[in-house]
């Protein structure tokens, strides 16, 4: 078998192993994953597929595509826990294949190496580099929207290149589909990741292989039509949903998801340089691989390459825009990571600079991983000289040896082919994330698995009891408990707790504490207690709270 077949098989196998461990080891994580599954559950339960709801109220923070896909899977497989957790990661796997396809469009005559003339090594290396970025490796296992957005960003940009090369109809249709579906996946953010590249087409397109023949007026006219088509596709959901959801919901999805969120972001958040400071960590372990640094020395000679210019027109404007917006999250930049992986693959395997492979290049990242693994394994021995966080005692530190073994393997096993060394680095990243999952299994089970309390709440609801949550409620119990009715948030405004106790004398109140509250009377004991993120969740009878009004306070340890 040739590399063009084996390498996609490799990254697919690594993804499959990573997801198997994540599904088996990690619970559905609060509050994001549990919230998104709660929205999908209410959509399924109520048969309301146009306007998402959370805890009985309209949910305007995210468009419905993820929730639709979860419900589609439930329609086929029945309601289960595993399908919702596969939806976003499957888009992550698809993004690897789209990254390879985009590479073949950008460098159709790429340099061939390693005695495998049939293999397009840039297209094979770029997905491996992307999967090997530890930040991507972790996030591709989570139920989040940004990996889905990355998929539609790639689809849009494939359409842009296709249209520039003369296949205008199919290219602009792909661009419109990517913008429209990206909008239904995560709102107008799709435009920040795609439009700058299309607008800057003269910068990268005039030096791209297979340059198009046609006027710029025709290009921008086609782009305008594609943008209109994409917006029409997104509005095909948004307009009926806005009419059905009411004034507040309509205002939120048309204004709050775009202009208001951007304008309001300037009043709070992180400084403009925050992404500059965090980007190096996002591209680990490639940052500590000497081979890449030697390849990047030739980047100055590659600025005239159309594919490199395309990636710069993709990465730099989005990076600048997100840096200027004060509200920042690391995962906002996930759709730009494929651009970096493409550039890295090009400087390594595109023939931009010839350099000899050095045996010691693998030693540095391998030894760093090995040392990290040994430090994790010997953490209990460090309790004396080092003040460790309390969660360290809940980790299965034996898996530090697995990290050390993977690091030593990467340091000593040196494939002759550069593509093989890229694959080795990616395997090291996947092994590290797998080992972290296995090491964290006891911690995750004891502190993040909300299934016990959720199922107890579901049982109480089915018995006819009304549940209140003493703080803002994020839907964390709804899917896991298959709840049929809303939970009432209290403790947010004056008098809401007293009103709940008056109206629901047999109700139950969920509260959150630093330590478990102590009560003097046996009949005042909590109905349910569960550890949660180093603290405790407690369920009280309404009668107990009526007799001890302050017992629901977060810092109340004794009573």
Q: Is residue 444 part of a domain?
A: no
Q: Tell me: the pLDDT tens digits for 426-467?
A: 999 999 999 989 988 888 888 899 999 999 999 999 999 999
3-state secondary structure of 90: helix
- With cut-offs at 50, 70 and 90, classify the pLDDT of residue 6: confident
Task: Kindly report the pTM of this predicted structure.
Answer: 0.91
Instruction: Choose between 109 and 55: higher pLDDT.
Output: 55
Residues with Cβ within 8 Å of 427's Cβ and at least 6 positions away in sequence, in order, are 14, 406, 410
501 alpha carbon, distance to own chain's centre: 40
pLDDT of residue 367: 83
pLDDT of residue 267: 39
Same-domain check for residues 460 and 323: no
Same-domain check for residues 455 and 313: no
**Cα(41)–Cα(55) distance, integer angstroms:** 10
**Cα(445)–Cα(455) distance, integer angstroms:** 15
Mean pLDDT value across residues 147-176: 94
Token duo for residue 142: 């989570």
Q: Is residue 420 part of a domain?
A: no
Token duo for residue 144: 């989040």
- With cut-offs at 50, 70 and 90, classify the pLDDT of residue 383: low
pLDDT of residue 410: 83
Q: What percent of the chain has pLDDT over 70?
A: 89
Number of domains in the chain: 2
pLDDT of residue 429: 92
- With cut-offs at 50, 70 and 90, classify the pLDDT of residue 116: very low
Token duo for residue 134: 């530890």
pLDDT of residue 514: 85
Q: Is the pLDDT of residue 115 over 50?
A: no
At CA 319, angle to CA 230 and CA 350, rounded to 5? Answer: 90
CA-to-CA separations, 243 to 56, 110, 236, 458, in angstroms, rounded: 18, 51, 12, 33
Q: Is residue 185 part of a domain?
A: yes
Mean pLDDT value across residues 153-180: 94
Q: Is the pLDDT of residue 121 over 50?
A: yes
- With cut-offs at 50, 70 and 90, classify the pLDDT of residue 358: confident
Mean pLDDT value across residues 362-380: 82
Burial bucket for residue 464 (CB in 10 Å: 0-12, 13-18, 19+): exposed
Q: Is residue 425 part of a domain?
A: no
3-state secondary structure of 531: strand
Q: Which of 349, 378, 394 is the last residue of a domain?
A: 349
Same-domain check for residues 311 and 457: no
Q: Is the pLDDT of residue 114 over 50?
A: no
- With cut-offs at 50, 70 and 90, classify the pLDDT of residue 546: confident
Q: Which of 305, 330, 349 is the last residue of a domain?
A: 349
The Cβ of residue 537 has, within 10 Å, a number of other Cβ atoms equal to: 22
The Cβ of residue 236 has, within 10 Å, a number of other Cβ atoms equal to: 12
Q: Is residue 304 part of a domain?
A: yes
Mean pLDDT value across residues 1-11: 81
Residues with Cβ within 8 Å of 371's Cβ and at least 6 positions away in sequence, in order, are 404, 407
Domain that holds residue 140: 38-349
3-state secondary structure of 39: helix
The Cβ of residue 485 has, within 10 Å, a number of other Cβ atoms equal to: 13
**Region of poorest pLDDT, from 123-127, 180-184, 254-258:** 254-258
pLDDT of residue 221: 94
Mean pLDDT value across residues 145-171: 94
Q: What percent of the chain has pLDDT over 90?
A: 56
Q: Which of 333, 349, 365 is the last residue of a domain?
A: 349
Where do runs of H (alpha helix) occur along 389-440?
Answer: 400-412, 418-439
Where do runs of H (alpha helix) occur along 78-215?
Answer: 82-106, 121-132, 134-139, 146-164, 168-186, 189-199, 201-205
Nearest-CA neighbor of 469 among 502, 508, 505, 431? 508
Q: Is the pLDDT of residue 1 over 80?
A: no
In this structure, are residues 179 and 232 in contact, taking their beta carbons and an 8 Å threshold?
Answer: no
Q: Is the pLDDT of residue 268 over 70?
A: no
Same-domain check for residues 137 and 255: yes
Q: Is residue 178 part of a domain?
A: yes
What DSSP string runs through 361-378? GGHHHHHHHHHHHHHHHT
pLDDT of residue 90: 97
Mean pLDDT value across residues 147-165: 95
Handedness of CA 333, 337, 340, 344 (dihedral sign): positive
**Cα(478)–Cα(482) distance, integer angstroms:** 6
In this structure, are residues 27 and 444 in contact, taking their beta carbons and an 8 Å threshold?
Answer: yes
pLDDT of residue 297: 81
Q: Is residue 517 part of a domain?
A: yes
- Rounded to 10 degrees, what is the CA torsion of 367, 422, 311, 221? -150
Same-domain check for residues 338 and 472: no
- With cut-offs at 50, 70 and 90, classify the pLDDT of residue 113: very low
Same-domain check for residues 177 and 287: yes
Q: Is the pLDDT of residue 213 over 80?
A: no
58 — phi, psi (to 5°)? -60, 140
pLDDT of residue 386: 57
CA-to-CA separations, 152 to 124, 336, 523, 531, in angstroms, rounded: 20, 12, 57, 39
- With cut-offs at 50, 70 and 90, classify the pLDDT of residue 392: low
Q: Tell me: the pLDDT tens digits for 310-355?
A: 999 999 999 999 998 877 888 999 999 999 999 999 988 876 666 6
Q: Is residue 86 part of a domain?
A: yes
Token duo for residue 59: 């949910």
pLDDT of residue 118: 37
């Amino acid at each position: 078998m040739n590399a063009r077949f084996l390498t996609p098989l490799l990254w697919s196998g690594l993804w499959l192993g990573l997801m198997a461990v994540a599904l088996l080891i990690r619970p559905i994580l609060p509050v994001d994953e549990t919230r998104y599954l709660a929205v999908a559950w209410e959509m399924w339960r109520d048969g309301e597929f146009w306007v998402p709801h959370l805890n009985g109220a309209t949910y305007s923070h995210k468009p419905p595509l993820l929730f639709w896909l979860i419900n589609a899977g439930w329609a086929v497989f029945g309601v289960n826990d595993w399908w919702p957790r596969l939806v976003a990661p499957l888009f992550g796997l698809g993004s690897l294949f789209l990254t390879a396809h985009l590479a073949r469009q950008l460098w159709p005559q790429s340099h061939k190496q390693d005695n495998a003339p049939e293999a397009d090594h840039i297209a094979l290396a770029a997905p491996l580099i992307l999967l090997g970025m530890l930040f991507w490796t972790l996030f591709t296992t989570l139920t989040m929207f940004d990996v889905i957005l990355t998929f539609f960003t790639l689809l849009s940009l494939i359409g842009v290149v296709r249209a520039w090369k003369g296949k205008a109809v199919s290219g602009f249709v792909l661009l419109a589909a990517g913008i429209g579906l990206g909008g239904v996946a995560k709102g107008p953010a799709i435009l920040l990741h795609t439009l700058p590249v299309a607008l800057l087409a003269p910068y990268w397109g005039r030096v791209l292989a297979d340059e198009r023949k046609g006027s710029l007026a025709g290009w921008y006219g086609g782009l305008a039509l594609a943008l209109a088509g994409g917006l029409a596709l997104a509005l095909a959901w948004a307009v009926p949903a806005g009419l059905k959801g009411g004034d507040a919901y309509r205002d939120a999805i048309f204004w709050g998801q775009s202009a208001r969120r951007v304008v309001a972001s300037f009043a709070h958040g992180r400084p403009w340089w925050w992404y500059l400071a965090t980007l190096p960590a996002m591209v680990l372990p490639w940052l500590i691989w000497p081979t890449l640094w030697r390849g990047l020395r030739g980047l100055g000679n590659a600025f005239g390459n159309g594919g490199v210019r395309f990636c710069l027109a993709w990465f730099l404007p989005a990076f600048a825009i997100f840096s200027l917006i004060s509200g920042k999250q690391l995962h906002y930049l996930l759709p730009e990571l494929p651009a970096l992986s493409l550039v890295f693959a090009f400087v390594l395997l595109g023939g931009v600079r010839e350099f000899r492979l050095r045996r010691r290049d693998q030693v540095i990242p391998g030894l760093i991983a090995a040392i990290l693994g040994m430090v994790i394994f010997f953490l209990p021995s460090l309790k004396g000289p080092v003040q460790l966080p309390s969660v360290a005692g809940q980790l299965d530190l034996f898996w530090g040896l697995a990290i050390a073994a993977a690091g030593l393997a990467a340091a000593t096993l040196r494939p002759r082919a550069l593509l093989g060394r890229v694959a080795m680095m990616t395997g090291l990243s996947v092994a590290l994330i797998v080992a972290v999952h296995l090491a964290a299994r006891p911690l995750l089970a004891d502190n993040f698995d909300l299934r016990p309390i959720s199922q107890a709440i579901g049982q109480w609801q089915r018995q006819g009891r009304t549940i209140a949550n003493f703080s803002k409620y994020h839907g964390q119990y709804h899917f896991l408990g298959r709840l049929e009715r809303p939970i009432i948030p209290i403790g947010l405004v004056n008098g809401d707790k007293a009103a709940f106790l008056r109206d629901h004398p047999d109700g139950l109140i969920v509260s959150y504490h630093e330590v478990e509250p102590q009560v003097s009377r046996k009949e005042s004991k909590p109905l349910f207690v569960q550890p949660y993120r180093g603290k405790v969740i407690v369920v009280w009878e309404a009668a107990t709270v009526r007799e001890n009004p302050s017992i629901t306070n977060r810092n109340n340890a004794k009573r």
